[in-house]
Amino acid sequence: MRRLPAHFKAEFFKPVLQQALYQEAFESWFRGEVCKVDGIALVSSCLLINRQWFLAMGGFREAFAGHGYEDFDLIHRLAMYYPVGKRPADYPEDVKSRFPGDYRGFRRHFSYYAVPHLFNGSFLLHQWHPRPLTRQYHRKRKENEARFAEILKDTTLTLPEPLPGFQADAEILAVLKNGVFDSGTVLSDFPCWLREQQTLNGFPVEEYPGLFRFQAGVRKKHGGFWRKWRKLFLSPVAFFRDSVFVRKSWEKRGGS
């Protein structure tokens, strides 16, 4: 046999290595570990969408500036036209959690769309990167959060104008003409449904608790000295508030 050139071998094995890394990261988080994956987001700005739908719905609203919620707004618009089930009473709420099993509000509702793709292997790994150390960028998050809360209250769903390049796709126009609607299907209790999905896909919660909690004995690694200084710079009020909370908690446990 002829020996393959080094660059050819690298390219040949690259997809196999990537697949192995993805699977390793996937199973590590599901086991409730934090050594390979820092966190998981079932609903995020990593979206794969038909280009004509993106243009027809006006893309991302320019009113969202800085950090956060422009992705949720687009998902909200899509979900209003393709409901997976009846929107719950707490749909407008934004309840965050490290573990998807504790999601509430629109984050939980959107997860009904995302979970099947997760188990099908349709997910991305987000590599670590430095975040912009600018107050203005992060201070916009609160404004964006309030803006999105108002959008969730609008059941008529007024769409932005289509973006340039939109072609009058007959199917898309028909869906838009019929307007938004709420499905009458009542969705299963989310934590129970999530457990069922794990079991059906070979990840019983007893062995893979990562979507609900850390594995026994695992503790989340703290960000260290640099993260604390970064928080002090970006949000001094939150920094001192959390510092007081940590000190009081330590004192309650008998620390000195």
Supply the angle between the helices 105-119 and 70-81 in degrees, to the nearest 10. 80
Residue with token string 């987000």:
126
* Predicted local confidence at residue 11, as pLDDT: 47
Buried b (16+ CB within 10 A) or exposed e, 41-63: ebbeeeeeeeebbbbbbbeebee
Helix (H, G, I), strand (E, B) or coil at 95: strand
Spell out, as residue ranges, where the chain has pLDDT lower than 70. 1-18, 129-138, 220-235, 238-256
pLDDT at position 8: 38
User: What pLDDT score does 66 carry?
Assistant: 83
pLDDT of amino acid 224: 52
pLDDT value, residue 134? 60
As a whole number of angstroms, the distance between CA 41 and CA 107 comes to 10
DSSP state of 206: T
Q: Where are the domains of the chain?
A: 9-219, 222-256
Model confidence, pTM: 0.77
- How far apart, in whole angstroms, are the C-alpha atoms of residue 33 and residue 176? 44
Distance CA 253, CA 245 (A): 13
Q: Which distant-in-sequence residues (6+ apart) come within 8 Å of 232 by Cβ?
A: 239
| pLDDT given for residue 38 in this prediction | 84
pLDDT at 1: 36
- So what's the pLDDT on residue 25? 86
What pLDDT does 137 receive? 66
Q: What is the pLDDT of residue 135?
A: 61
What span, in angstroms and rounded, lies between the C-alpha atoms of 209 and 224? 26
CA distance 150 to 45: 20
pLDDT attached to residue 199: 96
pLDDT computed for residue 103 by the predictor: 94
Measured between alpha carbons, how far is residue 5 from residues 8, 44, 153 in Å? Answer: 5, 40, 60
